Structure 1
């Protein structure tokens, strides 16, 4: 199988971290989905990454679908409980972290997309999206209060990976904002995960 993605996408990073934690070998094919020459549409009709192409040529897309599948391929480092309330809890926190990213990316596109002039940008829209970002991060940070080591259970799960990928991307793309100060418990989790080879090896290239 092969993973189609970019080096800066936080959703792709989430998948790459899971691959590393599960000790699964999967080459990364770097694609710029904004390029006129991109071929991502041949595998994902939505032209989005990440996209996991399986051995037979079938494709899986959406990072949540991909990581769910990857966690079944190896018993090493189980990241998602197999069933029940514990599974729903991990997937809910993953969905919240991904929702933070969804909102932040919409805000950034509104602020930076070259297809609009400054007068055409909606600051009310950007404020609305960033309000969602802060609400999501506050909930994640609150979950970690009291020196709780992980978001769910007693060991690393997909919830921790998703939350850390989200905060790391915000620090990368919105570097002027004091994320670590505003959300110290979440920053503590990120600092811990940044010591793991899976996070070290997936750092995006610095601008």
Structure 2
């Protein structure tokens, strides 16, 4: 398998961590989806990373779809429960984490990639408010549990850990830890795992 992606994309990192936790071999192909010569557009009509290329050259895209597929490839460390209430809970956490990443990415693009005269502070504030609301909800939902959905690591933890690390990378001014002690505790634990260490993005 080949994974097309960038080192700073949190969606790519989520997939890379799942690959590491599942002990699956793959080749990472670095690509800039914003560049004029982006490779991903030849495989994903949306031009987004990550994009997983299978041995038969079939492409799978969107991180949620990719991680669901990867979890079926090996019984090692199942990260997504079978259909039912537990699975819904894991996917709810993933939706929250992806929402945080979406809002953070949108605010970063507005602030750093649009011409200053065209920037919309109200739009950035709207994205920031989404982040704060999601973090409050996730912190309360986690409570004193060891992991997002109980005592074992699952996709919910990976998605959440990646989202929180992405905030550190792109929006350090949010300083989310003091008001979200439960999430801070979880992040510290996750950042010590080999899969998180190996996929740590370069400094902004």
Question: What are the residue-to-residue correspondences of 1:1-207 with 2, within 5 Å?
Answer: 1-113=1-113, 116-145=114-143, 147-207=144-204
Matched residue SS, 1:3:
strand
Structure 1 portions without partners, runs of 5+: none
Matched residue SS, 2:174:
coil
Aligned residues: 204
Distance apart, 1:62 and its partner CA: 0.4
Runs (4 or more) in structure 1 with deviation over 6 Å come to none
Looking at structure 2, the residues matched to 22 and 119 of structure 1 have their Cα atoms a distance apart, in angstroms, of 46
Looking at structure 2, the residues matched to 166 and 152 of structure 1 have their Cα atoms a distance apart, in angstroms, of 17
Structure 2 portions without partners, runs of 5+: none
Distance apart, 1:5 and its partner CA: 0.4
Looking at structure 2, the residues matched to 151 and 56 of structure 1 have their Cα atoms a distance apart, in angstroms, of 36
Looking at structure 2, the residues matched to 183 and 108 of structure 1 have their Cα atoms a distance apart, in angstroms, of 22
Contact 2:16–2:199 (CA under 8 A) maintained in structure 1:
yes
> Normalising by the residue count of structure 1, what TM-score does the alignment of the two structures yield?
0.96
> Normalising by the residue count of structure 2, what TM-score does the alignment of the two structures yield?
0.97
Matched residue SS, 1:176:
helix
Looking at structure 2, the residues matched to 83 and 76 of structure 1 have their Cα atoms a distance apart, in angstroms, of 18
Distance apart, 1:186 and its partner CA: 0.7
117-126 or 96-105, which deviates more: 117-126
